[in-house]
Amino acid sequence: MEAMLKMQIYNHLGQYDMSKEIYEQYQNIIPEDNVYLKNKFLNEYELSAKKFILDSKPRNLQVVLFDKCQFNCIMCNQKEKKHNYSLPEQYMEEIADLFPYLDSITWQGGEIFLWEDFVKILQNVAVYKQISQNIVTNLQNINKETIKQLSQIPNIKLIISVDGTNKETYEQIRRGSSFKKLMENINLLNKYKLKYKSDMQMHINFVILKENFNEILNIVDFAKTHNFNGITFNECISTPDYSNVFGRETRSKIERMLDFAVVKAAKENICLTIHYSSKASNIAKSENIKKDILICKLPWYKLLLGEDYTFAPECTCFKRENYYINKNKLTISDMWNSGTMQNYRKHIIGLKENKKICNSNCRLYTNSYF
Protein backbone atom coordinates (compact mmCIF):
# COMPACT_ATOMS: atom_id res chain seq x y z
CA MET A 1 0.00 0.00 0.00
CA GLU A 2 1.31 3.40 -1.03
CA ALA A 3 0.63 5.12 2.31
CA MET A 4 2.56 2.40 4.13
CA LEU A 5 5.56 2.84 1.87
CA LYS A 6 5.46 6.60 2.34
CA MET A 7 5.47 6.16 6.12
CA GLN A 8 8.49 3.87 5.89
CA ILE A 9 10.34 6.36 3.71
CA TYR A 10 9.52 9.27 6.04
CA ASN A 11 10.67 7.21 9.02
CA HIS A 12 13.82 6.28 7.17
CA LEU A 13 14.53 9.95 6.49
CA GLY A 14 13.70 10.98 10.03
CA GLN A 15 10.62 12.99 8.95
CA TYR A 16 8.49 11.62 11.75
CA ASP A 17 5.77 14.30 11.71
CA MET A 18 5.00 13.47 8.08
CA SER A 19 4.78 9.81 8.99
CA LYS A 20 2.43 10.52 11.89
CA GLU A 21 0.20 12.60 9.60
CA ILE A 22 -0.18 9.68 7.22
CA TYR A 23 -1.07 7.41 10.10
CA GLU A 24 -3.80 9.80 11.31
CA GLN A 25 -5.18 10.01 7.79
CA TYR A 26 -5.27 6.29 7.01
CA GLN A 27 -5.49 4.38 10.28
CA ASN A 28 -9.26 3.92 10.08
CA ILE A 29 -9.30 3.03 6.40
CA ILE A 30 -7.41 -0.27 6.75
CA PRO A 31 -9.92 -3.13 7.00
CA GLU A 32 -10.12 -4.64 10.50
CA ASP A 33 -9.40 -8.12 9.16
CA ASN A 34 -6.12 -7.05 7.51
CA VAL A 35 -4.21 -7.66 10.72
CA TYR A 36 -0.84 -7.71 8.96
CA LEU A 37 -1.17 -4.23 7.49
CA LYS A 38 -2.84 -2.82 10.59
CA ASN A 39 0.07 -3.99 12.73
CA LYS A 40 2.72 -2.76 10.32
CA PHE A 41 1.02 0.64 10.14
CA LEU A 42 0.81 0.88 13.91
CA ASN A 43 4.43 -0.24 14.26
CA GLU A 44 5.71 2.49 11.91
CA TYR A 45 3.55 5.01 13.77
CA GLU A 46 4.96 3.94 17.15
CA LEU A 47 8.46 4.35 15.78
CA SER A 48 7.68 7.84 14.46
CA ALA A 49 6.07 8.75 17.81
CA LYS A 50 9.22 7.42 19.55
CA LYS A 51 7.22 5.15 21.80
CA PHE A 52 9.21 2.68 23.84
CA ILE A 53 6.28 0.53 24.97
CA LEU A 54 4.66 -0.88 21.86
CA ASP A 55 1.11 -1.99 21.13
CA SER A 56 2.27 -3.34 17.78
CA LYS A 57 3.72 -6.82 17.59
CA PRO A 58 7.19 -7.75 16.28
CA ARG A 59 7.34 -7.85 12.48
CA ASN A 60 10.58 -9.83 12.27
CA LEU A 61 11.63 -12.75 14.44
CA GLN A 62 14.90 -14.63 14.69
CA VAL A 63 14.58 -17.97 16.41
CA VAL A 64 17.32 -20.26 17.66
CA LEU A 65 15.53 -23.61 17.80
CA PHE A 66 18.36 -25.43 19.58
CA ASP A 67 22.14 -25.35 19.99
CA LYS A 68 22.93 -28.82 18.65
CA CYS A 69 25.78 -29.09 16.13
CA GLN A 70 28.32 -31.84 15.59
CA PHE A 71 31.04 -29.60 14.18
CA ASN A 72 33.66 -27.54 15.89
CA CYS A 73 34.49 -24.50 13.79
CA ILE A 74 37.51 -22.58 15.05
CA MET A 75 35.63 -19.32 15.59
CA CYS A 76 32.50 -20.80 17.17
CA ASN A 77 31.87 -21.46 20.86
CA GLN A 78 30.23 -24.84 20.15
CA LYS A 79 32.60 -26.90 22.21
CA GLU A 80 31.85 -24.80 25.30
CA LYS A 81 28.15 -25.62 25.03
CA LYS A 82 26.21 -28.28 26.87
CA HIS A 83 23.93 -28.77 23.87
CA ASN A 84 20.88 -29.12 26.02
CA TYR A 85 18.93 -26.03 24.98
CA SER A 86 15.94 -26.31 22.75
CA LEU A 87 13.16 -23.78 22.33
CA PRO A 88 10.36 -24.56 24.79
CA GLU A 89 7.11 -25.80 23.21
CA GLN A 90 5.24 -22.85 24.72
CA TYR A 91 7.25 -20.47 22.49
CA MET A 92 6.50 -22.47 19.37
CA GLU A 93 2.81 -21.83 19.98
CA GLU A 94 3.37 -18.12 20.57
CA ILE A 95 5.53 -17.86 17.45
CA ALA A 96 2.74 -19.47 15.44
CA ASP A 97 0.32 -16.84 16.79
CA LEU A 98 2.63 -14.16 15.36
CA PHE A 99 2.76 -15.58 11.82
CA PRO A 100 -0.09 -13.37 10.50
CA TYR A 101 1.91 -10.26 11.49
CA LEU A 102 5.40 -11.18 10.30
CA ASP A 103 7.49 -9.87 7.42
CA SER A 104 10.30 -12.31 8.09
CA ILE A 105 11.46 -15.12 10.30
CA THR A 106 15.07 -16.28 10.57
CA TRP A 107 15.67 -19.88 11.68
CA GLN A 108 18.98 -20.84 13.24
CA GLY A 109 20.70 -23.46 15.42
CA GLY A 110 23.23 -24.97 16.22
CA GLU A 111 22.70 -26.58 12.89
CA ILE A 112 19.07 -26.17 11.96
CA PHE A 113 18.87 -29.12 9.56
CA LEU A 114 19.51 -31.44 12.52
CA TRP A 115 16.05 -30.45 13.81
CA GLU A 116 13.65 -33.24 13.02
CA ASP A 117 10.97 -32.21 10.56
CA PHE A 118 12.44 -28.75 10.06
CA VAL A 119 11.21 -28.75 6.46
CA LYS A 120 7.68 -29.36 7.74
CA ILE A 121 7.94 -26.13 9.77
CA LEU A 122 9.05 -24.24 6.65
CA GLN A 123 6.18 -25.69 4.64
CA ASN A 124 3.64 -24.71 7.31
CA VAL A 125 4.96 -21.15 7.57
CA ALA A 126 4.95 -20.77 3.77
CA VAL A 127 1.14 -20.69 3.93
CA TYR A 128 1.62 -17.09 5.12
CA LYS A 129 2.64 -15.61 1.81
CA GLN A 130 3.94 -12.33 3.25
CA ILE A 131 6.66 -14.06 5.35
CA SER A 132 10.22 -14.39 4.04
CA GLN A 133 11.96 -17.29 5.74
CA ASN A 134 15.73 -17.00 6.27
CA ILE A 135 17.67 -20.13 7.17
CA VAL A 136 21.24 -20.00 8.46
CA THR A 137 22.99 -23.28 7.73
CA ASN A 138 26.34 -24.98 7.13
CA LEU A 139 24.67 -27.09 4.39
CA GLN A 140 26.39 -30.22 5.66
CA ASN A 141 23.45 -32.08 7.21
CA ILE A 142 21.09 -31.94 4.31
CA ASN A 143 20.28 -34.60 1.72
CA LYS A 144 18.98 -34.60 -1.82
CA GLU A 145 15.36 -35.17 -0.75
CA THR A 146 15.44 -32.18 1.62
CA ILE A 147 17.02 -30.00 -1.07
CA LYS A 148 14.24 -30.99 -3.47
CA GLN A 149 11.59 -30.09 -0.90
CA LEU A 150 13.30 -26.79 -0.07
CA SER A 151 13.35 -25.81 -3.73
CA GLN A 152 9.58 -26.10 -3.83
CA ILE A 153 8.90 -23.79 -0.88
CA PRO A 154 8.38 -20.16 -1.86
CA ASN A 155 10.02 -17.09 -0.33
CA ILE A 156 13.08 -18.73 1.21
CA LYS A 157 16.55 -17.31 1.68
CA LEU A 158 19.30 -19.82 2.46
CA ILE A 159 22.22 -18.20 4.25
CA ILE A 160 25.05 -20.66 3.80
CA SER A 161 28.26 -20.39 5.81
CA VAL A 162 31.21 -20.58 3.43
CA ASP A 163 34.37 -19.37 5.14
CA GLY A 164 36.80 -20.63 2.51
CA THR A 165 36.84 -21.02 -1.25
CA ASN A 166 38.84 -24.25 -1.29
CA LYS A 167 39.07 -27.51 0.65
CA GLU A 168 42.15 -26.50 2.68
CA THR A 169 40.84 -23.21 4.03
CA TYR A 170 37.25 -24.37 4.44
CA GLU A 171 38.08 -27.56 6.34
CA GLN A 172 40.75 -25.85 8.46
CA ILE A 173 38.12 -23.37 9.71
CA ARG A 174 35.00 -25.55 9.64
CA ARG A 175 36.51 -28.45 11.57
CA GLY A 176 34.72 -31.73 10.89
CA SER A 177 33.01 -30.43 7.73
CA SER A 178 33.58 -31.56 4.16
CA PHE A 179 34.20 -29.12 1.31
CA LYS A 180 33.16 -31.89 -1.11
CA LYS A 181 29.78 -32.19 0.64
CA LEU A 182 29.32 -28.42 0.56
CA MET A 183 29.96 -28.32 -3.18
CA GLU A 184 27.70 -31.31 -3.87
CA ASN A 185 24.86 -29.66 -2.00
CA ILE A 186 25.38 -26.25 -3.66
CA ASN A 187 25.23 -28.01 -7.04
CA LEU A 188 22.06 -29.88 -6.04
CA LEU A 189 20.48 -26.63 -4.89
CA ASN A 190 21.21 -25.01 -8.24
CA LYS A 191 19.89 -28.06 -10.09
CA TYR A 192 16.57 -28.23 -8.22
CA LYS A 193 16.12 -24.45 -8.14
CA LEU A 194 16.17 -24.58 -11.92
CA LYS A 195 13.94 -27.64 -12.14
CA TYR A 196 11.23 -26.22 -9.87
CA LYS A 197 11.65 -22.61 -11.05
CA SER A 198 12.34 -21.74 -7.42
CA ASP A 199 12.51 -18.14 -6.18
CA MET A 200 14.94 -19.23 -3.43
CA GLN A 201 17.71 -16.75 -2.64
CA MET A 202 21.17 -18.11 -1.84
CA HIS A 203 23.52 -16.01 0.26
CA ILE A 204 26.97 -16.61 1.71
CA ASN A 205 28.00 -15.82 5.28
CA PHE A 206 31.79 -15.34 5.45
CA VAL A 207 33.45 -14.73 8.83
CA ILE A 208 36.74 -12.88 8.35
CA LEU A 209 39.59 -14.75 10.06
CA LYS A 210 43.37 -14.98 9.88
CA GLU A 211 42.93 -18.22 7.95
CA ASN A 212 40.75 -16.78 5.17
CA PHE A 213 41.10 -13.01 4.80
CA ASN A 214 43.19 -13.51 1.66
CA GLU A 215 40.12 -15.08 0.06
CA ILE A 216 37.86 -12.03 0.42
CA LEU A 217 38.00 -11.35 -3.32
CA ASN A 218 37.91 -15.05 -4.27
CA ILE A 219 34.61 -15.51 -2.45
CA VAL A 220 33.03 -12.96 -4.79
CA ASP A 221 34.11 -15.11 -7.77
CA PHE A 222 32.88 -18.20 -5.93
CA ALA A 223 29.50 -16.55 -5.38
CA LYS A 224 29.25 -15.60 -9.05
CA THR A 225 30.25 -19.07 -10.30
CA HIS A 226 27.73 -20.83 -8.06
CA ASN A 227 24.80 -18.45 -8.56
CA PHE A 228 24.67 -16.85 -5.12
CA ASN A 229 22.66 -13.65 -4.77
CA GLY A 230 24.66 -12.11 -1.96
CA ILE A 231 27.52 -12.24 0.53
CA THR A 232 27.76 -10.97 4.08
CA PHE A 233 31.25 -10.42 5.45
CA ASN A 234 31.18 -10.70 9.22
CA GLU A 235 33.72 -9.67 11.78
CA CYS A 236 34.54 -12.50 14.15
CA ILE A 237 33.11 -11.86 17.60
CA SER A 238 34.21 -13.41 20.89
CA THR A 239 36.30 -16.13 19.31
CA PRO A 240 37.83 -18.76 21.58
CA ASP A 241 41.21 -18.80 19.81
CA TYR A 242 41.96 -15.20 18.83
CA SER A 243 41.43 -15.75 15.12
CA ASN A 244 39.95 -12.28 14.89
CA VAL A 245 42.84 -10.36 16.39
CA PHE A 246 44.58 -8.61 13.52
CA GLY A 247 47.40 -6.10 13.63
CA ARG A 248 46.83 -2.62 12.27
CA GLU A 249 48.53 -3.43 8.96
CA THR A 250 46.42 -6.52 8.33
CA ARG A 251 43.28 -4.63 9.28
CA SER A 252 43.93 -1.96 6.68
CA LYS A 253 44.71 -4.67 4.13
CA ILE A 254 41.35 -6.29 4.93
CA GLU A 255 39.61 -2.93 4.58
CA ARG A 256 41.16 -2.39 1.15
CA MET A 257 40.11 -5.87 0.08
CA LEU A 258 36.57 -5.17 1.26
CA ASP A 259 36.58 -1.97 -0.83
CA PHE A 260 37.58 -3.99 -3.89
CA ALA A 261 35.02 -6.64 -3.07
CA VAL A 262 32.30 -3.96 -3.07
CA VAL A 263 33.23 -2.89 -6.61
CA LYS A 264 33.61 -6.45 -7.86
CA ALA A 265 30.31 -7.60 -6.37
CA ALA A 266 28.45 -4.61 -7.81
CA LYS A 267 29.74 -5.54 -11.29
CA GLU A 268 28.56 -9.12 -10.81
CA ASN A 269 25.20 -8.02 -9.43
CA ILE A 270 25.91 -9.63 -6.08
CA CYS A 271 24.45 -7.95 -3.02
CA LEU A 272 27.18 -7.25 -0.47
CA THR A 273 26.78 -6.57 3.24
CA ILE A 274 29.74 -5.78 5.44
CA HIS A 275 29.55 -6.18 9.20
CA TYR A 276 33.10 -5.16 9.96
CA SER A 277 33.58 -2.54 12.65
CA SER A 278 35.76 -0.03 10.85
CA LYS A 279 33.59 -0.37 7.73
CA ALA A 280 30.34 -0.06 9.62
CA SER A 281 28.71 3.11 10.73
CA ASN A 282 29.38 2.53 14.43
CA ILE A 283 25.84 3.57 14.96
CA ALA A 284 25.58 2.49 18.54
CA LYS A 285 28.24 4.88 19.80
CA SER A 286 26.57 7.32 22.10
CA GLU A 287 27.91 10.38 20.26
CA ASN A 288 25.95 9.18 17.24
CA ILE A 289 22.73 8.85 19.15
CA LYS A 290 20.76 12.02 18.56
CA LYS A 291 17.17 12.78 19.34
CA ASP A 292 16.20 14.07 15.92
CA ILE A 293 16.95 10.94 13.90
CA LEU A 294 16.70 7.36 15.08
CA ILE A 295 19.95 5.81 14.08
CA CYS A 296 18.72 2.22 14.52
CA LYS A 297 15.19 0.91 14.11
CA LEU A 298 15.77 -2.71 15.02
CA PRO A 299 14.33 -2.60 18.57
CA TRP A 300 10.99 -1.53 17.03
CA TYR A 301 11.12 -4.05 14.19
CA LYS A 302 12.71 -7.22 15.45
CA LEU A 303 13.04 -9.69 18.31
CA LEU A 304 15.63 -12.45 18.57
CA LEU A 305 14.92 -15.49 20.72
CA GLY A 306 18.46 -16.70 21.29
CA GLU A 307 19.79 -19.86 22.87
CA ASP A 308 19.54 -20.42 26.62
CA TYR A 309 16.51 -18.09 26.91
CA THR A 310 18.42 -14.99 25.81
CA PHE A 311 16.70 -12.25 23.85
CA ALA A 312 17.55 -8.95 22.18
CA PRO A 313 16.81 -7.19 18.89
CA GLU A 314 19.77 -9.03 17.26
CA CYS A 315 22.57 -11.32 18.38
CA THR A 316 25.22 -8.64 17.89
CA CYS A 317 23.33 -6.39 20.35
CA PHE A 318 24.43 -8.57 23.25
CA LYS A 319 27.15 -7.15 25.42
CA ARG A 320 29.30 -9.68 27.19
CA GLU A 321 28.79 -8.03 30.58
CA ASN A 322 25.10 -7.67 30.04
CA TYR A 323 23.56 -10.85 28.70
CA TYR A 324 19.79 -10.62 28.78
CA ILE A 325 18.52 -13.89 30.07
CA ASN A 326 14.85 -14.56 30.29
CA LYS A 327 15.14 -16.13 33.73
CA ASN A 328 11.46 -15.82 34.49
CA LYS A 329 10.40 -17.53 31.28
CA LEU A 330 8.56 -14.49 30.02
CA THR A 331 6.11 -14.83 27.18
CA ILE A 332 7.23 -13.45 23.82
CA SER A 333 4.94 -10.46 24.21
CA ASP A 334 6.42 -9.82 27.68
CA MET A 335 9.92 -9.90 26.16
CA TRP A 336 8.86 -7.49 23.42
CA ASN A 337 7.99 -4.82 26.00
CA SER A 338 10.42 -5.95 28.69
CA GLY A 339 12.72 -3.48 30.43
CA THR A 340 15.54 -4.74 28.20
CA MET A 341 13.77 -4.00 24.92
CA GLN A 342 12.49 -0.69 26.31
CA ASN A 343 16.06 0.23 27.21
CA TYR A 344 17.29 -0.35 23.64
CA ARG A 345 14.49 1.88 22.37
CA LYS A 346 15.12 4.51 25.05
CA HIS A 347 18.83 4.57 24.29
CA ILE A 348 18.18 5.16 20.60
CA ILE A 349 15.55 7.79 21.29
CA GLY A 350 18.24 9.49 23.37
CA LEU A 351 16.54 9.43 26.75
CA LYS A 352 19.24 10.67 29.05
CA GLU A 353 18.33 8.65 32.10
CA ASN A 354 18.99 5.44 30.24
CA LYS A 355 22.29 3.61 30.53
CA LYS A 356 24.24 2.78 27.40
CA ILE A 357 22.73 -0.54 26.57
CA CYS A 358 23.80 -0.82 22.93
CA ASN A 359 26.96 -2.62 22.02
CA SER A 360 29.46 0.09 21.11
CA ASN A 361 30.93 -2.27 18.53
CA CYS A 362 27.57 -2.71 16.88
CA ARG A 363 28.34 -3.40 13.26
CA LEU A 364 24.89 -3.64 11.81
CA TYR A 365 23.50 -1.53 9.04
CA THR A 366 20.15 -1.72 10.66
CA ASN A 367 18.48 0.59 8.20
CA SER A 368 18.42 -2.39 5.86
CA TYR A 369 15.36 -3.44 7.88
CA PHE A 370 12.87 -1.32 6.07
Ligand X SMILES: C[S@@+](CC[C@H](N)C(=O)[O-])C[C@H]1O[C@@H](n2cnc3c(N)ncnc32)[C@H](O)[C@@H]1O
Using the contact rule CB under 6 A, the part of the chain among 12-20, 69-77, 188-196, 350-358 near ligand X is: 69-77
Rounded to 5 degrees, φ, ψ at 7 are: -60, -45
Interface characters, 122-141, with ligand SF4 (x: CB under 6 A): ----------------x---
Q: Which helix (H) or strand (E) holds 204?
A: strand 201-208
Does 136 sit near ligand X (CB under 6 A)?
Answer: yes
Nearest Cα to Cα of residue 276 among 266, 261, 286: 261
Integer Cα distance of 257 and 53 in angstroms: 42
How many chain residues are in contact with ligand X, going by CB under 6 A?
17
Nearest Cα to Cα of residue 109 among 169, 154, 71, 68: 68
Amino acid code (one letter) for 34:
N
DSSP 60: E
Does 76 sit near ligand SF4 (CB under 6 A)?
Answer: yes
Does 239 sit near ligand X (CB under 6 A)?
Answer: yes
Does 237 sit near ligand X (CB under 6 A)?
Answer: yes
Integer Cα distance of 188 and 190 in angstroms: 5
Interface characters, 86-125, with ligand X (x: CB under 6 A): ----------------------xx-x--------------
- Helical H segments across the chain, by residue range: 2-13, 16-26, 35-48, 89-98, 118-125, 144-150, 167-173, 179-195, 216-225, 248-267, 298-301, 332-336, 339-349
Integer Cα distance of 115 and 137 in angstroms: 12
Is the CB of 22 or the CB of 208 nearer to ligand SF4? 208
Q: How far is the CB of 362 from ligand SF4 (least distance, A)?
A: 3
Q: How far is the CB of 172 from ligand SF4 (least distance, A)?
A: 13
Integer Cα distance of 67 and 112 in angstroms: 9
The only residue of 22, 42, 69, 283 in contact with ligand X, by rule CB under 6 A: 69
Does 274 sit near ligand X (CB under 6 A)?
Answer: no
Q: Give the footprint of ligand SF4 on this chain (CB under 6 A).
A: 69, 71-73, 76, 78, 110-111, 138, 174, 283-284, 296, 298-299, 313-314, 317, 344, 358-359, 362, 364, 366
Q: Which residues bind ligand X (CB under 6 A)?
A: 69, 75-76, 108-109, 111, 136-138, 161, 205, 207, 234, 236-239
